[in-house]
Structure 1
């Protein structure tokens, strides 16, 4: 069984999206999802894929890497 530490995120970029505290995460030219400050749980970042809520984390870069890895896994699966 692989652990989260064994999964590496592909190269990605962040760009501010629709205001402060919200970022689009891009893998190549594709938007993998969005990372935003969570209003329900202050101090955390909300991770939203294009079609689903994917969780929260205390670190913005961890959230972005999660989205990039998810995008890469979807591409590998042909979804």
Structure 2
């Protein structure tokens, strides 16, 4: 599963942080850029994320134990 973390900044002040599914990313990104234009000092920081699942083994009931990690990669600023 992929998702994106979008942070909205006004100067040094963080106004919002959103986690957005990849299916809605383009629409949300466009709406935020329209509502909070860079010409007025707003900055959107976008980080791509991934969910990693790893099977650790079997528990005493024979069920798989899974470790889930959420990784956010890079922080690119978009004006």
Structure number with bigger Rg? 2
Decide which structure has greater strand share: 2
Q: TM-score, normalised by structure 2?
A: 0.30
Q: TM-score, normalised by structure 1?
A: 0.30
Decide which structure has greater helix share: 1
Point out which structure has higher relative CO (alpha carbons under 8 A, 6+ apart).
2
